[in-house]
Structure 1
Amino acid sequence: MGSPGELDDGPPSPTTEDPQRPTWKSVLLVLTCTLAMILNTASTAGLSIFFPVIGADLSVPEELLQWLVSAFSLSSGCFLLLFGRLADLYGRKKMYVGGTIYLGILHLGCGFAQNITTLFVLRGLQGLGAAAFIPACLGILAHAFPPSRARSAAFATFSAGAPVGGALGTQIGAVLTQYTKSTWRSSFYLLAGLSFLCAIGGLLLIEADHPSTEPDKRVDWLGAFLVTVGLVFVVFVLSQGSLASNGWKTGYILALLIIGVLFIALFIAWQYHLEKSQSAPDNRRPPPLMKLSMWTRAKGRFAVVQVIAFLQWSSFLTWYFWAQLYYESYLHMSPVHTAIRFLPMTIAGLACNVFVMLVVNRMPLVVLISSGTLLTGLAGLLFAIIQPSAPYWAYGFPSAIVSVCGADFVFASGTLFVAKVCLPHEQSLAGGVFQTLTQVGTAFGLAISTIPFDSIASASASGGGQDGAPLEAYKAAQWTAFGFAMFCTLLAIVFLRGVGPVGTDERRREGDREGVDETVVAKKELEGTTS
């Protein structure tokens, strides 16, 4: 085991893209993975836009419909680690194709569902499909594009799938819901078609899986059980704590939270034991599902980037959720009119990823991440001081523009950083870790922001205030989003200084070809220093 921040084993990755793959195939490969990211985001972000229509059609209170999003995020977030590990071991292409086909079949099932129970169950099962193909995508791209400008472009393009997916799910979903005969079912049919298109692209364009380079291919099933159960309980509590009969004081909420934390603690202890056991000559135990030493790489900056991803998604999705409710529940706008107000997010998100693609090989990581999280915080601040009488262009429009900066800057540069400090056989697992924290961060942000919202809304109701939550409740939730983003910015400024650009500088690569020791360069990059 090397010192923190160094590679554990294996030579540095090659520095050039596979010369035998035609450029057109590389482009289509990236687009195929990006389409899967579009599908994943559209399957989550866009659903809440037509909650009122589903509630009216199936005679379900709207507050219960949040489970249609929570159930998907619950199963997806809790299985990312296991499926990422299985993708690394047994084939990323298999996981990608299987996951997209599986998701497509269940999307069709949702479209034909006749009651809310069926819809809840299918949405919960759907998350397993996303958990299979998203880590696989990150591993596929990392394997297909070794450190180079091509890798930077590939990861930035993949990241751009998120805002496009948000637009597809929100804007197009709203139009289909309002103007088609099948209303909300039409969106599920669209997502089913998109799923099968992803599967066809994967079959045709993703290269055949290569055997894992790990000598021991056993799976740590006990670790997988511990972390999955622990995450299921924790994410469930975060999603439902504020909705329980007595809120966070409800008995089963407290019990499940304690059990979930206990299972995660046992998982960490078990992973520590397995990693230590690997060096024993008579070891018969499988390798750990996730090496804890991974978190110490690049002098602990791997862990810092993961924490920033967790809090950044807490901030961004908190802003998005409460801004959407502000438009629909406080201003009583239709789904289409609400969706139009979020349309600038899509354009801004695409622009952000193009910007990252152009500068990631020259701009230090600390500048990219801190500036992005700061701008996302500004989105929360604008809604925290919003005036309903003001025009959309004063608060809503600039907030929609800057809201996506943190998510896109952190995702694109963060996944590049993670890919750089992880070994070839860890890429999907590392991507699964990153995605798990963003999923849990989403549930965490909504849970925490609901506390001040409910507190103010309850006080207003008990005091004989207006029907529905008052403006101050929405503002309090947005102050929470602002706080998350500011903490992200502080973490980036304090701990990511000196990392340098995470993209590969072509000029340095020319210097490498002239005799610079590539092993030394790789170690310096993993330690977060500049060459």
Structure 2
Amino acid sequence: MATTTSKPSPPAAPPAEPAAPPSLTGRNRLILFVLCAAQFMVALDFSVLNVALPALGTDLGLSHSALQWAVTAFALPSGGFLLLFGRVGDLYGRKRLFLSGLVLFGAASLLATFAWDPASFLTGRALQGLGAAAIVPTGMSLLTTTFPEGPLRDRALGISGTLLSLGFTVGMVLGGVMTDTLGWRSTMGLLALFTVIVLPLAPRLLPESRTPEKPRLDVPGAVTVTGGLLSLIYALSTAAERGFGGADVLVTLVAGVVLLVAFVLIESRSPAPLVSLPMLRRRTVAFGNLGGLITFSMMSTVVFVLTLYLQETLGLSSFATGLVFGVQGVFAIVGGTLAPRVIGRFGARRVLVGSLLGQGLLTAAILGVGRDSGVLLAAAAASVACVFHLGAIVSYGLIVTSGVPDEQQGLATGLVTTTQQVGLTVGIPLLGVLATTGGDLFGGVRTVIALDAAIVLATAALVALGLRRGRAGGRS
């Protein structure tokens, strides 16, 4: 019987080396710089004027009760027009609207810098808010359409989220320093300077981006959602100063709710809705935005009440308080740097839930401060909480925008940025007012911190349940 001799098997091919992660090109770095600088500028505007309000009021003749309008005049249009401008950018060109917003923001900042009376200053602030409402959603849309899903978008959103959070913190520090040394007008001049830096670069670098088809703009939807957001933001911003008992607060609060309910009914029947209700029913969109809203609103509340605690209870100077928040800013950079790497390893869903848990637990740790001491505990807990805060910011942005086609990125990022701006606006009116109305500031601060931590921890549980069947950012 013949025997067969088998040929020796060829040597096994060496295992393929893992592909190197994609890196940012020089042009992409410049695009990211332009978009992130614009976002940082808007975040800075939310807080840079806060410390300067007393000096501003004395100079322009604004009464103490009217000072809130220096903040509200910006917050109203910046939050109220976000969804509308996000959709307009989708239909008629995101780059075009982004550039128009930059021009308007810069001109409005100059008007506010050289304001000669309250009317001219508040007009400048309102126009700043309108410019910000055009910059923020279109800038985020340009970022998500320029950087594809995956490590590059994770990294870009990490940098963007870091600068957004850092801008709010840096604004508080810079506002005090600049007001003491150069006067309150320098805070508005700084914003004009940012536009001078960004505007010459943007036209050459940014690609134009819009939907291929041009459906009609949903005017009834635009009117109701913009009116509803304006009413709610006005009510909550005013309540921060005067409480919820005023007739104007109650009327605008009810009007805001009614208009938003009408908006939902209109969108369910519109052939070309401003907001796609099926998109809002997606778990990733609904629960991702819930996590984003809570992380922004509750962290801004922590910053607000800690400012009161450090200065009013412990007697720290404005400069020393600024140093505390400067440390928090450093931790924000660390959080924004680590977040994309952690998301790549564990997935955006797990990172969002874990970040909310970390933020909530560290906020609760602040309850250990006392009437006579607590600077180190407050600074350490708030700073480390900021690392988790940045993890939540980056992961929720990825969860909401991943899997969305390019023609709907303006809608998705409009929801993301509306969540950001509304979160920055509503936290302090809803909770911060409790710290100042009870007569015992220290007791009020502790109450707010306890509620803040409880809300964040409860939200972490809701988000975990809501996203348990879905995949966040394609990486669960």
Classify the secondary structure of the residue corresponding to 2:375.
coil
Structure 2 residue 425 is the aligned partner of structure 1 residue 410: no
Distance 1:122 1:453, change over 3 A: same
Q: Residue by residue, what CA displacement relative to the aligned partner does 1:166-188 show, whole Å, maximum 9, x if unpaired? A: 354232332222222xx111121
Equivalences for 1:126-165 in 2 at 5 Å? 126-165=128-167
Q: In the alignment, what sits opposite 1:106? A: 108
Distance across 2 between alignment mates of 1:255 and 1:241: 12
Structure 2 residue 296 is the aligned partner of structure 1 residue 313: yes
Structure 2 residue 373 is the aligned partner of structure 1 residue 390: yes
Equivalences for 1:359-374 in 2 at 5 Å? 359-374=342-357
Q: In the alignment, what sits opposite 1:496? A: 467
2:358 to 358, 364, 375: 375
Distance across 2 between alignment mates of 1:197 and 1:418: 31
Classify the secondary structure of the residue corresponding to 1:249.
coil
Q: Residue by residue, what CA displacement relative to the aligned partner does 1:274-311 show, whole Å, maximum 9, x if unpaired? A: 1xxx4xxxxxxxx11111000122xx232011112122
Q: Residue by residue, what CA displacement relative to the aligned partner does 1:381-415 show, whole Å, maximum 9, x if unpaired? A: 2443421322522x222133123234322221111
Shift of residue 450, structure 1, vs aligned partner: 4.1
Distance 1:117 1:476, change over 3 A: farther
Distance 1:242 1:43, change over 3 A: closer
Query: Which stretches in structure 1 are left out of the alignment for 5+ residues?
Result: 1-15, 279-286, 458-468, 503-524
Q: Residue by residue, what CA displacement relative to the aligned partner does 1:422-443 show, whole Å, maximum 9, x if unpaired? A: 2211112211112212322333
Classify the secondary structure of the residue corresponding to 2:87.
helix
Equivalences for 1:325-364 in 2 at 5 Å? 325-364=308-347
Distance across 2 between alignment mates of 1:51 and 1:442: 18
Distance across 1 between alignment mates of 2:156 and 2:424: 25
Classify the secondary structure of the residue corresponding to 2:217.
coil
Whether the 8 Å contact between 1:373 and 1:485 is mirrored in structure 2 is yes
Distance 1:289 1:107, change over 3 A: same
2:277 to 292, 315, 318: 292
Q: In the alignment, what sits opposite 2:442? A: 471
2:287 to 275, 283, 304: 304
Equivalences for 1:218-257 in 2 at 5 Å? 218-244=216-242, 247-257=243-253
Classify the secondary structure of the residue corresponding to 1:360.
helix
Distance 1:294 1:255, change over 3 A: same
Whether the 8 Å contact between 1:108 and 1:189 is mirrored in structure 2 is yes
TM-score scaled by structure 2? 0.89
Distance 1:242 1:156, change over 3 A: closer
Distance across 2 between alignment mates of 1:38 and 1:48: 17
**What is the letter of the counterpart of residue 260 of structure 2?**
I
Distance 1:450 1:174, change over 3 A: closer
Shift of residue 372, structure 1, vs aligned partner: 1.7
Distance across 1 between alignment mates of 2:297 and 2:160: 21
Shift of residue 352, structure 1, vs aligned partner: 0.8
Structure 2 residue 416 is the aligned partner of structure 1 residue 434: yes
Distance across 2 between alignment mates of 1:487 and 1:64: 36
Shift of residue 500, structure 1, vs aligned partner: 5.1
Distance across 1 between alignment mates of 2:63 and 2:415: 35
In terms of mean alpha carbon deviation, does 86-95 or 63-72 score higher?
63-72
Classify the secondary structure of the residue corresponding to 1:321.
helix
Distance 1:420 1:47, change over 3 A: same
In terms of mean alpha carbon deviation, does 72-81 or 113-122 score higher?
113-122
Structure 2 residue 202 is the aligned partner of structure 1 residue 202: yes
Q: In the alignment, what sits opposite 1:487? A: 458
Q: In the alignment, what sits opposite 2:52? A: 50
Query: Which stretches in structure 2 are left out of the alignment for 5+ residues?
Result: 1-18
Equivalences for 1:175-214 in 2 at 5 Å? 175-180=177-182, 183-207=183-207, 209-214=208-213
Q: Residue by residue, what CA displacement relative to the aligned partner does 1:240-265 show, whole Å, maximum 9, x if unpaired? A: 13544xx4233332222222111111
Distance 1:242 1:177, change over 3 A: closer
Q: In the alignment, what sits opposite 1:261? A: 257
TM-score scaled by structure 1? 0.80
Whether the 8 Å contact between 1:385 and 1:475 is mirrored in structure 2 is no
**What is the letter of the counterpart of residue 201 of structure 2?**
G
Total equivalences in the alignment: 456
Q: Residue by residue, what CA displacement relative to the aligned partner does 1:45-97 show, whole Å, maximum 9, x if unpaired? A: 22212223323434545554233223212211110000000111111111111
Whether the 8 Å contact between 1:233 and 1:256 is mirrored in structure 2 is yes
In terms of mean alpha carbon deviation, does 188-197 or 485-494 score higher?
485-494
Whether the 8 Å contact between 1:323 and 1:383 is mirrored in structure 2 is no
Whether the 8 Å contact between 1:419 and 1:430 is mirrored in structure 2 is yes
Identical pairs, percent: 26
Whether the 8 Å contact between 2:239 and 2:429 is mirrored in structure 1 is yes
Shift of residue 362, structure 1, vs aligned partner: 2.1
Distance across 1 between alignment mates of 2:460 and 2:218: 36
Distance across 1 between alignment mates of 2:393 and 2:82: 16
**What is the letter of the counterpart of residue 271 of structure 1?**
E
Whether the 8 Å contact between 1:364 and 1:499 is mirrored in structure 2 is no
Shift of residue 499, structure 1, vs aligned partner: 4.4
Shift of residue 365, structure 1, vs aligned partner: 2.4
Whether the 8 Å contact between 2:157 and 2:397 is mirrored in structure 1 is yes
Q: In the alignment, what sits opposite 1:4? A: none
Say which one has the larger Rg.
2
Distance 1:126 1:498, change over 3 A: same
**What is the letter of the counterpart of residue 204 of structure 1?**
R
